[in-house]
Copies of this chain bind each other. A is one copy, B any other.
Amino acid sequence: MAFELTILGSSSATPTSERYPTAQVLNASGRFFLIDCGEGTQIQIRRQKIGFGKIKHIFISHLHGDHYYGLIGLISTFNLLGLKNDLHIYSPSQLKEIIQPQLDFLKGDLQFNVIFHPLNFKKPQLIFEDKKVEVLSFPLKHSINCCGFLFREKEKEANIKKECIQQYNIPIAQIVKIKQGAGFITEEGETIPHEVLTTPPPATLSYAFCSDTAFHPPIVEVIKGVNLLYHEATFTEGLRDWANKTYHSTALEAAKIAQMANAGKLILGHFSSRYKSADPFLEEAKTVFPNTEDAVDGKTYVVND
């Protein structure tokens, strides 16, 4: 199954003519998670030809406008298109109060439920899970309450060896249990260990989203070993004072987090509009963490183990 991230917007507080404010879609084994929803997100989703009906879970990291101003337009469009699925929004609790006056003015009544799930800013928390995927929120260090999100596949089942099924004449009912970790007792009473019957399950994939935040090593514990890490890099070291003042990170700090977490790959984004190119960010980060790319609106990054 696919596990891939599409960047919809990668600018910081003010959009530029080339970069929209923060928004991303993660396709995690067929679940489409929208992460932040800056102004213009619905237009970017259309351009990427992602079906609106696939988006049922939206994660809003914090209530600075460049991370949520596109939400009301998206909800309105869902409604105009006649979508009926419940929409789950994981966000700071105040978002509901902010959005409600606008929902009241929607063209036509809302045809689906919007269910708000308040985030916890004190500690990491499991906020979503189904059979295959789980999502954790974890506190970041910003000027207002802000959470990052870790999306990871659940442990997969082991692969049973076909030749063992024939050799030991294993019934179908037993195959399910063996895949989940059981051994098998043959008709002759011999116990065949799980490890002999199976090859290990495929690796689980994971993606962590960290924006907006100052350099904050406590998150390393949560995101350790993540395959793909998006970490904001609003500034380079040349504007360290600004980074400190605004609770943002430099490219160097993002790279340090990637290194400490032993991430597979790092994507930088949330660039200040002061910078005309992402090159200085990449140059700075690669001194510490070579496998770094810049976020580009419209680009898809496949997550590998």
Binding site for B on A (CB under 8 A): 13-17, 20-21, 39-40, 42-43, 46-47, 63-66, 69-70, 72-73, 76-77, 80-81, 94, 97-98, 101-102, 105-107, 143
Contacts and interface: CB of A to CB of B under 8 A. Distances in A.
A46 B102 CA distance: 26
B39 A70 contact: yes
Q: In the A-B complex, list the 10 residue pairs whose CB atoms are closest, starting with the nearest.
A: A39-B73, A65-B76, A17-B47, A98-B101, A69-B73, A40-B40, A17-B46, A14-B77, A63-B105, A15-B43
A231 B17 CA distance: 28
A251 to B, nearest CB: 21
Nearest to A69: B73
- Count of identical protomers in the assembly: 2
A20 B39 contact: no
A98 to B, nearest CB: 5
A97 B97 CA distance: 12
Contacts of A107: 13, 64-65, 143
Contacts of A63: 105
Contacts of A143: 107
Contact of A16 (B39, B46, B65, B76): B46
Given A39-B70, A65-B102, A69-B69, 15 more contacts: A13-B77, A15-B77, A17-B46, A17-B47, A20-B43, A39-B39, A39-B43, A39-B73, A63-B105, A65-B72, A65-B73, A65-B105, A69-B72, A69-B73, A69-B76
A13 B80 contact: yes
A37 B106 CA distance: 16
A66 B40 CA distance: 12
Contacts of A46: 15-17
Contacts of A14: 42, 77, 80-81
A133 to B, nearest CB: 29
B105 A94 contact: yes
17 contacts: A13-B107, A14-B80, A14-B81, A15-B43, A17-B46, A39-B40, A39-B42, A39-B43, A39-B70, A64-B107, A65-B72, A65-B73, A65-B76, A69-B76, A97-B101, A98-B105, A107-B143
A73 B81 CA distance: 24
A186 to B, nearest CB: 61
A294 B153 CA distance: 49
Contacts of A39: 39-40, 42-43, 69-70, 73
A69 B97 CA distance: 17
